[in-house]
Amino acid sequence: MINDHSSASLVFLQIHLGGDRNFCYLIGDRDSGQAVAVDPGFDAAGFQGIAVENELNITSILITHEHGDHMEQAGPLAQLTGATIYAGAADKVAGASQLTDGQEFSLGGHTLKALATPGHSPGHFCFLCQGRLITGDLLFCGKIGGTGSYFPGSSAEQQYASLDKIMQLPEETFVFPGHDYYGGEGTMPHSSIGHEKTHNPFLTTENYEAFCYLKDNWAAYKEEHGVR
Ligand SMILES: [Zn+2]
């Protein structure tokens, strides 16, 4: 399944290649053919096939975070394409060059910017390109990524600060998450900063204590509000 959010010379594909409703992304420039892959967790050959079909050449592989469902196929995709893998220094991704906060990648006439957003993992990054923000497991439509003992190195406090950081982006910025986890009526494979700011229960909490309370009582909240 591919959702096409391309415009003019920018190719922006949201791709479902397997896993737990995981999303991978292919972002490229039609004129130069330059492209980056984000989170190739599954099916490196399938991912490369989609790039070839779109006449794109993957030169960088960007990893939002170290969990296997996001980066498992980064190595095989690098072998197929010759691309360089990039990930946060605090995350464990074999063979990756280190990302720095604010680092820019150029794709023909377009720029993609890496934003350090630790919390769900210590070296988590989001990627912003032409008003489209890939949020990995920091933020989902109507939900957020987990922290706690199940996720070694995670920090609710860092996640709270990272969410605040991306909420400073323009409200119309599209949110493209790492999983299709929307729990309301119908489906929502993408959202916007403005929509999440007003509808995501974690982003409408008053302070850090209330945020942690909701995290600790999320199962009860979901049941009470009919969230799947
Ligand atoms: Zn994760």
pLDDT above 70: percentage of residues in the chain: 100
Whole-prediction pTM value? 0.97
Compute φ and ψ for 68, nearest 5 degrees: -55, -35
Task: State the distance from the centre of ligand 1 to the C-alpha of 138, rounded, in angstroms.
Answer: 8
Task: State the distance from the centre of ligand 1 to the C-alpha of 84, rounded, in angstroms.
Answer: 21
Q: Which two tokens stand for residue 169?
A: 């982006």
Structural domains present in the chain: 2-200 (3.60.15.10)
Predicted confidence (pLDDT) at residue 75 exceeds the cutoff of 90: yes
Nearest CA to 139 out of 91, 77, 217, 201 is that of: 201
Task: State the distance from the centre of ligand 1 to the C-alpha of 31, rounded, in angstroms.
Answer: 33
Nearest CA to 88 out of 114, 58, 59 is that of: 114
Instruction: Give the Cα separation of 9 and 101 in Å (integer).
Output: 26
Task: State the distance from the centre of ligand 1 to the C-alpha of 133, rounded, in angstroms.
Answer: 17
Task: State the distance from the centre of ligand 1 to the C-alpha of 52, rounded, in angstroms.
Answer: 28
Task: State the distance from the centre of ligand 1 to the C-alpha of 66, rounded, in angstroms.
Answer: 7
Task: State the distance from the centre of ligand 1 to the C-alpha of 124, rounded, in angstroms.
Answer: 9
pLDDT for 10 = 97
Q: Which residues pair with 134 in a beta bridge?
A: 127, 176
Give pLDDT tens digits for 6-63.
999 999 999 999 888 999 999 999 999 999 999 998 999 999 999 999 999 999 999 9
Task: State the distance from the centre of ligand 1 to the C-alpha of 137, rounded, in angstroms.
Answer: 5
Taking residues 102-122, report their average pLDDT. Answer: 97
pLDDT for 184 = 86
Task: State the distance from the centre of ligand 1 to the C-alpha of 176, rounded, in angstroms.
Answer: 15
Classify residue 186 by its DSSP letter: S
pLDDT above 90: percentage of residues in the chain: 95
pLDDT for 18 = 87
DSSP 122-148: TT-EEEEETTEEEEETTEETTEE---S
Task: State the distance from the centre of ligand 1 to the C-alpha of 178, rounded, in angstroms.
Answer: 8
Predicted confidence (pLDDT) at residue 185 exceeds the cutoff of 90: no
Give the list of residues 6+ apart from residue 61 with CB closer than 8 angstroms, or none.
Answer: 36, 37, 38, 40, 74, 77, 78, 81, 83, 84, 85, 86
